[in-house]
Amino acid sequence: AQSVTQLGSHVSVSEGALVLLRCNYSSSVPPYLFWYVQYPNQGLQLLLKYTSAATLVKGINGFEAEFKKSETSFHLTKPSAHMSDAAEYFCAVSSPGGQAGTALIFGKGTTLSVSS
């Protein structure tokens, strides 16, 4: 069965600092990997996705993530944090052919706080 582990339920950074949100996955079949962001009282918005093309994926708002098969990781980074990045971030895996089909299996989420 697929699963996602997000290390750190809460990450705090200063404005302009590097953002690193960690995600490790488990999947018995080749996965698709996603990062979503959720702002308060809103739905989820896709930041970026990995679907077996380039291992370094660039997304919206300056975020990027690198798929590392040997480490089963898909960490999210942004070189310089902005106050508007404060939100909850979810890593998700989809494993077509797996038990849940193409549904997203989410991690517990990481709340990012940005201070001035």
Partner 1 sequence: DSGVTQTPKHLITATGQRVTLRCSPRSGDLSVYWYQQSLDQGLQFLIHYYNGEERAKGNILERFSAQQFPDLHSELNLSSLELGDSALYFCASSFDRSGYNEQFFGPGTRLTVL
| Shortest Å distance, C-beta 107 to partner 1 | 8
7 is a site residue for partner 1 (CB under 8 A): no
Phi, psi of 31 (to 5 degrees): -95, 160
Binding mask 18-47 for partner 1 (x = CB under 8 A): --------------x---x-----xxxxx-
Separation in Å, CA 61 to CA 23, 78, 97: 19, 9, 32
Closer of 51 and 55 to partner 1 (Cβ): 51
Cβ–Cβ < 8 Å for 72, 81: no
Cβ–Cβ < 8 Å for 33, 95: no
Closer of 81 and 109 to partner 1 (Cβ): 109
List interacting residues with partner 1 (CB under 8 A): 32, 36, 42-46, 49, 51, 90, 94-96, 99-109
